[in-house]
Amino acid sequence: MQFLGPERLTKPTTLRAEARAGSGRVVAVTFVLDGKPLGSDTVAPYALDVDPALLPAGKHQLRVVTVDNLGRRSSSKPARVSISASPSSVLIAGPGERFRHAVAALRRGNVTVRLAPGRYEVRQLRLGSGARLVGSGTKTVIAPRPGARYWALVVANGSNIRISNLTVDGGGPMANAEDAGIAVAVFDGSRDVRLHGLRITNVRTHGVNVWGAHSNISVQDSLIESDGSAQAGVFVLGSDRSRDTSVIRTRIRGFRSFGILLGQKEYGRPAAALHGLALDNHISDIRDPTRDACVYSERTASGCGTNEGGIWSGGVEAAIIGNTVLRARWDGIETVGSSTRTTIVGNEIRTTRTGIYLEHSTNHSLISRNLIAATEAAINVEWRHEGQGSSHNVFANNRVVAARDVGLFVDVGGDSNRITGNVFVAGGRPAIVLQGSSNNLVQENLGCKGPVGSIVGMQTARWDDGRVAESQGNRLAGNRRVTSC
């Protein structure tokens, strides 16, 4: 891995890097200037467009940091770069008439607009291909007129679009606004869109909404927050026509349904929503008051488990790495749809009902080195039904603390998994339960500080057609209780 240059920045240019992974796949390359991320690229060849007029002049150090889908990180040696901007073609605008001219230019595209601090009231600000919208920090505020309804405040519609360094104030909740109120929308057909350094507040429905045929859409280094009334921080509808969607180093809090939804509901698709990425995000306080009954009477309540998730992913070869999820009431991380060859690595999940939930079509995936604490169930593999199941997954080296009911629960038809090297501190026993699950390798798992009992237990259950499901052919070796772990 190395930075390829250039080493002198005088005009809008592209930084380039070379990165390779050994046994894994590179999922993100981040360009870091003097210790602060300039931005990340998730698609090879790895590059980042920058305008030196928007960067501090002088001599600096730049390095690139690579993360692969197994959660391994590496950094290049720092390279010296100098920034000395030549006269810029950036269009500077402030509130008033100059902003109206800037709005028209952004819609046409192929322009860079820098907004001065101030409040800019819009009904819809649309960016065409090649448009760059740059604020002057959090005091540059895009907002609706007081009391106004809107579908989306800012719309990216095209390719090669950048929005950065400003606040989008959604105006807060309104009665009967369930179908409107998106802060930033990325339109069907868009590609190569990066949202960086945004503060998205007072969200009405979704902070960022992406749908249709899209590729290389990324939200980075941003804050997205609601007072508990909005639905999702980042809401993505994926399909066979979408790929390479990412959320990186972003704080999301206070939503009802999802922190991050990289959604794709179809089963068995070979490349749907390919290469979704959630990297180094902080998600907290995902709670839907309309689901309160699920806490107290799940068997009779409706809609339980259909929202209140920290991060949900449904695409092929997704990577969920290095995230922190706190107080997402139903689950911290969930796989849905065609979650094949997904990696869930190095995440910290606390105070959720279930830490990691694998829906009934998650296969050949890796769940490793996660810390899961203060849950009812730490990891739950859903039962096989409607012709779909989860199998051939690896659960390795996870640390589970105080999972009240069970550490790892593998339900009917969740077969041929490798469960190795996991540590279960306190919590319920048995720590690993195979319920009608067969042909699993369960090896070298440790339990400590919990009640006396077996680390691994096997139970009989039933298939969805009523037949008895027995746990058969499981290989257990070296699982033991220890005094300290």
In this structure, the number of other CB atoms found within 10 A of the CB of residue 337 comes to 27
Pairing mode of beta strands 232-237, 206-210 = parallel
Question: Residue 401: which of 431, 421, 380 has the closest Cα?
Answer: 431
Query: Would you say the C-alpha torsion 131, 135, 138, 140 has a positive or negative sign?
Result: negative
Q: What is the pLDDT of residues 49-108, one digit of tens each?
A: 998 988 899 999 999 999 999 999 999 999 999 999 887 788 999 999 999 999 999 999
Domain that holds residue 385: 372-485
Whether residue 365 lies inside any domain: the answer is no
Q: What is the DSSP letter of 464?
A: T
pLDDT in tens, 3-26: 888 889 998 999 999 998 888 899
In a domain, 113, yes or no: no
List all residues 6 or more positions away from 252 whose beta carbon is below 8 Å from its beta carbon.
Answer: 207, 223, 224, 225, 233, 234, 259, 260, 281, 282, 283, 284
- Report if residue 213 sits inside a domain: no
CA distances to 43, 268, 457 from 462, rounded to whole Å, are 44, 24, 17
* Residue 255: inside a domain: no
**Rounded Cα distance, 260 and 220, in Å:** 13
**Per-residue pLDDT, 15:** 95
Please indicate, yes or no, if residue 451 is contained in any of the structural domains. yes
> Rounded to two decimals, what is the model's pTM?
0.97
What is the number of domains present in the chain?
2
The domain boundary, picked from 37, 68, 83, lies at 83
Average pLDDT over residues 227-241: 96
Q: For 254-318, what is the HEC assignment?
A: CCCCEEEEEECCCCCCCCCCECCEEECCEEEEECCHHHHHHHHCCCCCCCCCCCCEEEEECCCCC
How far is C-alpha 387 from the chain's CA centre? 28
Chain centre to alpha carbon of residue 11: 33
pLDDT at 177: 59
How far is 117 from 160, CA to CA, in rounded Å? Answer: 25
Looking at per-residue pLDDT, the higher value among 29 and 2 belongs to 29
User: Among residues 320, 324, 314, 369, which one has the least CA distance to residue 351?
Assistant: 324
Domain for residue 9, yes or no? yes
Q: How many CB atoms lie within 10 A of CB 386?
A: 9
Q: Which pLDDT value is given to residue 85?
A: 81
Residues 6+ apart with CB under 8 A from 226: 202, 203, 207, 233, 253, 254, 255, 256
User: Does residue 227 carry a pLDDT above 80?
Assistant: yes
297 inside domain: no
The Cβ-side half-sphere exposure at 284, using a 13 Å CA radius, reads: 9
Please identify, among 27, 53, 83, the residue that sits at the C-terminal boundary of a domain: 83
Tokens, residue 319: 């990577």
Q: Please check the confidence at residue 226 and state whether its pLDDT lies above 90.
A: yes
Contact yes or no for 457/434 (Cβ under 8 A): yes
314-337 residue pLDDT tens:
999 999 999 999 999 999 999 999
Q: Which helix (H) or strand (E) holds 433?
A: strand 432-435
User: What value, to the nearest 5°, has the Cα angle with vertex 232 and ends 227 and 233?
Assistant: 80
Instruction: Place 485 in a pLDDT band, splitting at 50, 70 and 90.
Output: confident
Q: What does the pLDDT read at residue 179?
A: 61
Whether pLDDT at 176 is above 80:
no
User: Checking DSSP bridges between strand 2-5 and strand 13-18, what pairing results, if any?
Assistant: antiparallel
Q: What is the pLDDT of residue 178?
A: 60
As a whole-number percent, the residues of the chain with pLDDT over 90 amount to 86
Task: Determine, yes or no, domain membership for 408.
Answer: yes
Average pLDDT of the residues of the chain: 95
List, as one string, the DSSP characters of 46-109: EEEEE-GGGS--EEEEEEEEEEETTS-EEEPPPEEEEE-PPSP--EEE-TTHHHHHHHHHHHH-
Lowest mean pLDDT among 79-93, 347-361, 413-427: 79-93
Of 321, 190, 161, 313, the C-alpha closest to 248 is 321
Which neighbouring-strand residues pair with 119? 141
Q: Report residue 301's pLDDT band, with 50, 70 and 90 as the boundaries.
A: confident
CA-CA distance, 400 to 450, in Å (whole number)? 12
Read off the pLDDT of each residue in 251-280 and give the average, rounded to a whole number.
95
- What would the pLDDT profile of 177-209 be if each residue is shown by its tens digit? 566 899 999 999 999 999 999 999 999 999 999
Task: Between 375 and 3, name the one with better pLDDT.
Answer: 375
pLDDT of residue 141: 98
Q: What is the CATH number of the domain that holds 79?
A: 2.60.40.10
Q: Which of 83, 114, 141 is the last residue of a domain?
A: 83
Residues 446-469: what's their mean pLDDT?
Answer: 91
